[in-house]
Amino acid sequence: MADLRTDRFLRYILLLAVVLTGFFFWHRIPNFATRDEFSRILDALVPYGSVIEDPSWESLRSGVVWGRTPFGATTFLYGFLLLPVVVIALFAGQGDAIAALASPAWEFGFYEAWHTTPKWIWTLSIALVRLANVVFAVGSVYLTYRIGVELAARPAGRLASLFLTLSFGFLTIAHEGGEDMPATFLVLLSILLLGRYVRQGDTQQFLAASVTGGLAIGFKLTAAPVIVVIAVAHLLRVHRSGRSGVARLQPRLVLAGALLGLLFILVSFPTAVVGRLDLVVERIVGGSLSRASHPTGPDAPILWWFLRGYLSALGLPLFVGSVTGVAASLWHLRDKPASAPAAVLVFTALFGYLLLFSGWHDFRVHHLLPTIPLAAILLGWTVTRFWDRRPSLAGPLLAVLLITSGLYAGVGVAGYADVPRDNAVSWLETEADEDAVLEVYRRHLQDTAVPHSMTVQHAYGASDSGDTLDPCPTYIQLGYRDLLYLAEDTYYRNGIVRASYVRSLVSEEYGYEIVAEFGPRPPNFVPDRPTPGAYHELLRLGVIPQTDQYADEQELRPNQYTLILEQTGECDESREQPF
């Protein structure tokens, strides 16, 4: 690329991005970083399994429709990425392992499908998905650089891309599979194309932006603010053209762009391609629109959720810098917004996302991901303007910001080299006998530290199925979420009976003793989360990079605390698991 030849600093920034986004990308393999990562991979493998089991259109159709939720373009992307895995399995005579995934049972997070499928299939599948995510992440760093350059100059682009690279929340999402990073990449690409359209008037850029915007929404429906960005870009171009009359509005161009965008949104959904438009409507209306009011975290003011998300994603110094950069850029644009169309487009996207999430009950860092590069662009622009006016003051402040942000991101990413659940799995693989049984109390295998080859029994759902649990398994495993029963007034896990049972286990009753612990033990085994609505308790999130998360966010060191108890006394057959 011309930029790599012209700007030697860009090479080092992209190299840094590769190192940080790819550092220990194999964490948790063959288990999964998030439940979403597992479900998206299954969404791609189930159609393959269905067709191998019964090569027919109906099998393909049923495999596509099976998806946990009929997610969009991620299924196509992962279907392409995982094709080599399927081909290798077929040539190795293990096609039946893929075929067995045609109808996986949901119990314990599809544990049976995971446990019986050869380990190498999951290892290679997750690795390919994670590496693709690294590519999208590094691509997003470059697009952030390019938007910054076209907004101001190369120094602004360098700083913007560097700020993004040092954003721990961005690096965290780069370490998991899912639709968030591809959608962010496409939103940034759309903004870049629209900026060029406003400056040059090239209608091909507008149509290309409509396509990439549609694809972004096809990956993640919360990318919908890109529609407003496209509309604003067209209005800016109309204003700059200086022409008069209805013709200057170019209604045919607008219609063509809208139709292209809609087309690519629709074809991004595999369910639409196989003729199930009703599932697409259900996904949009029943899924995304209801997400705003669906609680996946405790009740708290929306400002608290914004602060919680951004402090843990950026760290305190970069958060303060980003807020300052956004405010200063907005003030700079107050008189002549049309003079910097790229900035207007960035602001439109940023405020569109903030407005969207402000109506939700709660959200996570991965929802805020697209806003991180947008804030980085505005901060880079602000710093370069300040440097031009006060270089003697801007230099030291920039150095402090980069050093502190680098430390926050560096310490956070270094945590992937010492993952508690991975350490627990290694311990069990080394210490446990082949016939050992591990008992866990989570609903999904992704929440546990389970060796792929180990026999596991889980309490949830056993009474409904008629199964009986071994009253005295070799090991019992407790995790951070189990310990939440010991905390008072939790929004989800509570109950005196379960709390008493967990307390008895950690007190080494029932003939079980603690033999191993991994990760930081909460004080007296009671998780210490920031009180919902207590703003002052959020400050530590901006100082300590790996902190407690809620719901479907990637679980970091505190959430991965794992305690293993081994039976050392007589079997207490009266022990009842109250789950």
Reported as a single tens digit per residue, the pLDDT across 135-173 is 999 999 999 999 999 999 999 999 999 999 999 999 999
In a domain, 578, yes or no: no
How far apart, in whole angstroms, are the C-alpha atoms of residue 298 and residue 490?
8
- Element containing residue 440 per DSSP (H, E): strand 437-440
Ranked by mean pLDDT, the top range of 128-132, 278-282, 480-484, 535-539 is: 128-132
In a domain, 424, yes or no: yes
Question: Is the separation of the CB atoms in 22 and 36 below 8 Å?
Answer: no
Cα distances (angstroms) measured from residue 163 to each of 51, 141, 360: 45, 9, 27
Same domain, 379 and 465: no
In a domain, 468, yes or no: yes
Beta-strand pair 475-479/512-518: unpaired
pLDDT score recorded for residue 287: 66
In a domain, 217, yes or no: yes
Pick from 35-49, 231-245, 275-289, 487-501: least confident: 275-289
Boundary residue ending a domain (401, 416, 431): 416
For the chain, the average pLDDT equals: 93
Same domain, 198 and 260: yes
- 401: closest CA among 188, 160, 169? 160
pLDDT score recorded for residue 246: 64
Give me 146's structure tokens: 């390019």
Question: Is the separation of the CB atoms in 531 and 548 below 8 Å?
Answer: no
Angle among Cα 148, 152, 153 to the nearest 5 degrees reads 80
Same domain, 472 and 366: no
DSSP 448-514: S---TTSEEEE-TTHHHHT----SS-SEEEEEHHHHGGGSTT-SSS--HHHHHHHHHHHTT-TTEEE
pLDDT score recorded for residue 461: 58
Question: Is the separation of the CB atoms in 367 and 222 below 8 Å?
Answer: yes
What is the pLDDT confidence band of residue 463, given thresholds at 50, 70 and 90?
very low
Beta-carbon count within 10 A of 361 CB: 16
Same domain, 207 and 313: yes
Roughly what angle, to the nearest 10 degrees, separates helices 119-151 and 35-53?
120
Same domain, 296 and 395: yes
Residue 112 reports pLDDT greater than 50: yes
pLDDT score recorded for residue 462: 45
pLDDT score recorded for residue 493: 73
Question: Is the separation of the CB atoms in 341 and 236 below 8 Å?
Answer: yes
pLDDT score recorded for residue 288: 66
Question: Is the separation of the CB atoms in 89 and 97 below 8 Å?
Answer: yes
Same domain, 436 and 477: yes
> Which residues are CB-neighbours of 1 under 8 A, at least 6 positions away?
none
Residue 328 reports pLDDT greater than 90: yes
How far apart, in whole angstroms, are the C-alpha atoms of residue 66 and residue 55?
16
What is the pLDDT confidence band of residue 52, given thresholds at 50, 70 and 90?
very high
Q: For the chain, how big is the Rg over CA atoms in Å?
A: 25
Same domain, 403 and 456: no
For residue 106, the SS3 value is: coil
What is the pLDDT confidence band of residue 245, given thresholds at 50, 70 and 90?
low
How many domains would you assign to the chain? 2
In a domain, 380, yes or no: yes
Bigger pLDDT: 490 vs 188 = 188
Residue pLDDT, tens place only, 350-372: 999 999 999 998 999 999 999 99
pLDDT score recorded for residue 563: 98
Boundary residue ending a domain (400, 416, 432): 416
For 223-245, what is the mean pLDDT?
A: 89
In a domain, 182, yes or no: yes
Boundary residue ending a domain (416, 448, 466): 416
Question: What domain range includes position 541?
Answer: 420-567
Same domain, 451 and 548: yes
How far apart, in whole angstroms, are the C-alpha atoms of residue 49 and residue 280?
23
Same domain, 441 and 483: yes
Q: What is the 3-state secondary structure (H, E, C) of 521-554?
A: CCHHHCCCCCCCCCHHHHHHHHCCCCCCCCCCCC
Q: What is the 3-state secondary structure (H, E, C) of 247-291?
A: HHHCHHHHHHHHHHHHHHHHHCCHHHHCCCHHHHHHHHHHHHHHH
Q: How many residues does the chain have?
A: 579
In a domain, 82, yes or no: no
Same domain, 411 and 428: no
Cα distances (angstroms) measured from residue 511 to each of 346, 384, 433: 61, 65, 19
Q: For the whole model, what pTM was predicted?
A: 0.96
In sign, the C-alpha dihedral spanning 164, 167, 173, 175 is: positive
For 390-402, what is the mean pLDDT?
A: 96
Same domain, 468 and 513: yes
Give me 162's structure tokens: 């560097």
pLDDT score recorded for residue 455: 92
In a domain, 282, yes or no: yes
Same domain, 313 and 436: no
